[in-house]
Amino acid sequence: MSTSRAREGHDRAIARLRSSYDAIPAGRPVRLAKPTSNLFRPRSGTGAPGLDASGLTSVLSVDPVGRTAEVQGMCTYERLVDATLAHGLIPPVVPQLKTITLGGAVSGLAVESTSFRNGMPHESVLEMDVFTGSGEIVTTRPGEPLFDAFPNSYGSLGYATRLLIELEEVPRYVTLRHVPFRDASALADAVEEIVATRAHQGTRVDALDGVAFQPGEYYLTVATWTERLDAPPSDYTGQQIYYRSIRSRSTDQLTLHDYLWRWDTDWFWCSRPFGAQHPLVRRLWPRRWRRSDVYHRLMALDRRLHLTDRLDERAGRPVRERVIQDVEVPVDRLSEFLTWFDEAVGLRPVWLCPLRWRAQAEPGRRPWPTYPMVSGTTYVNVGFWGTVPGDPRGPRGRTNREVEEKVTALGGHKSLYSEAFYSPEAFDELYGASNLAAVKSQYDPDNRLTSLYEKAVEQR
């Protein structure tokens, strides 16, 4: 598509967005009319008319010389990568699931294996248009109050309609080394060394993540971009399963494209409950349906109809609590958290992804006020997704509450894409509510947009 046609299409999409805003009765909450989501928290009151952002799904332009891309807010990373990889370029951070959108990754945050050197997606945004609660399009840039408060705002400040982002040059292939550890403290030490040197045992590290399969069985996967291919690259979109390969082989090679989406085919390891990892079922399961968004829709259907809960009740099994969380703990507290987690929660495996802010600020300060990571500190994202036995006599979300308390005690925090149970006071302190409220009062004076606490904790 030519740039002029793309601009015309963008203008029409903005006009449609404005029209849908005008159609929402005064005083009614304003939210996206979005058919799909990567959130894992239920919402109430979603039957009201919403913003029509259906025309904001495209890549407007790619500048291979300046290494930038102009992208609409509802464009998925799958579509963006297809456009940029044709020029040997990718965004500095590509979230691991294909249908995460650019606007969603910036307002809701995301991490991936390049986050130890490139931070989070919003840190490569040069300019952004935001549709605010007052119905205006505001162009904002790093250093401005709206821009700096936007990461982790989850639509409480508005919705990104256009983003100008940096791109990074990449080769065609990736070489992986799966490095085993028997001790989580030794893994944490290795993470700190790699973050400091950008190398492991003399080899450059371009991407870094890991898996804790069980106590005493940990792996770091160190990835190096390369043009050299030593053998045909592995393919984990078919019968082979990526996360299982980590335990069975010490080295591997993938195309850059397949590396970016290595976790999507099986939604990390969460395709298991659907039978998609059983050899016979996998042969019959269409390849085009082996995707995270398909599994997500199946899970949403189960949750909406309470199918699993009804089967458990009929079989006399206790109702189970869903524990679907990503938390960040300082790297020097990782071993302590994993030890506690094994005893208190027990889900396995868990994902490990080191990260630190790319932005610089005074030591101990937050460069991005709505998320409590501090400058100069390395964190490890610990992702765990599954169910544990529920406690029918205790408060709802007992295990999730315990996770929140432990993570806070260790100087960490958690992503808000899933259920949260913080008190208003604890939430305000953790997530910079006073700054967020000040920015919101300027761009949403009539409070048309739901606040972050209402979204994340009260599930409005």
Whether domain 306-421 has CATH 3.40.720: the reply is no
CA distance 350 to 381: 10
C-alpha of 318 from chain center? 31
Most confident of 199-213, 301-315, 357-371, 388-402: 199-213
| β 173-181/251-255 pair status | antiparallel
CA distance 178 to 37: 32
Identify the three-state secondary structure at position 147: helix
Q: Is the pLDDT of residue 456 over 70?
A: yes
Cβ atoms 142, 148 nearer than 8 A: yes
Q: Is the pLDDT of residue 375 over 60?
A: yes
Determine phi and psi for 168, rounding to 5 degrees: -125, 135
pLDDT in tens, 64-99: 999 999 999 999 999 999 999 999 999 999 999 999
Give all strands (DSSP E) within 227-271, no chain letters: 251-255
Determine phi and psi for 44, rounding to 5 degrees: -105, 160
Which whole number is the average pLDDT over 403-419?
95
CA distance 358 to 114: 11
CA distance 422 to 453: 9
The predicted structure's pLDDT at residue 43: 60
CA distance 288 to 175: 26
Neighbours of 275 (CB within 10 A): 12
Tell which wins on pLDDT, 395 or 206: 206
Cβ atoms 119, 357 nearer than 8 A: yes
Domain with CATH 3.30.70 in the chain: 306-421
CB neighbours of 259 closer than 8 A, spacing ≥ 6? 174, 176, 207, 223
Cβ atoms 334, 184 nearer than 8 A: yes
CA distance 125 to 71: 10
DSSP-derived letter for residue 319 is P
Instruction: State what percent of residues in the chain have pLDDT above 70.
Output: 94
What DSSP line would sit under 58-99, residue for residue?
SEEEEETTTTEEEEETT-BHHHHHHHHHTTTEE-SS--SSTT
pLDDT in tens, 3-41: 778 889 999 999 999 999 999 998 889 988 766 666 666
Which secondary structure element, helix H or strand E, spans residue 364, and what is its range? Answer: none
User: Listing from the earlier edge strand, what are the strands of the sheet with 68-72?
Assistant: 59-63, 68-72, 159-166, 125-131, 137-140
**Whole-structure pTM value:** 0.94
pLDDT in tens, 262-295: 999 999 999 999 999 999 999 999 999 999 999 8
CA distance 246 to 17: 45
The predicted structure's pLDDT at residue 201: 95
Neighbours of 324 (CB within 10 A): 18
The structural architecture, per CATH, of the domain 3-169+448-456 is 2-Layer Sandwich (3.30)
Which whole number is the average pLDDT over 343-359?
95
User: Angle formed by the axes of helices 184-197 and 334-344, to 10°?
Assistant: 140
Pseudo-torsion of CA 216, 417, 101, 412, nearest 10°? Answer: -50
CA distance 324 to 315: 24
The predicted structure's pLDDT at residue 41: 61
The predicted structure's pLDDT at residue 37: 65
CB neighbours of 105 closer than 8 A, spacing ≥ 6? 77, 93, 95, 120, 121, 122
Which whole number is the average pLDDT over 285-306?
86
Which whole number is the average pLDDT over 103-130?
97
Domain with CATH 3.30.465.10 in the chain: 3-169+448-456
Cβ atoms 85, 280 nearer than 8 A: no
The predicted structure's pLDDT at residue 2: 64
C-alpha of 382 from chain center? 12
Mean per-residue pLDDT of the chain: 92
The predicted structure's pLDDT at residue 94: 98
The predicted structure's pLDDT at residue 5: 86
The predicted structure's pLDDT at residue 394: 76
pLDDT band for 153, please (50, 70, 90 cuts): very high
In sequence order, the β-bridge partners of residue 219 are: 180, 211
452-to-143, 242, 345 alpha-carbon distances in Å: 21, 36, 27
Identify the three-state secondary structure at position 254: strand
In sequence order, the β-bridge partners of residue 118 are: none
CA R_g for the chain: 22
3-state helix, strand, coil in the chain (%, to 5): 35, 25, 40
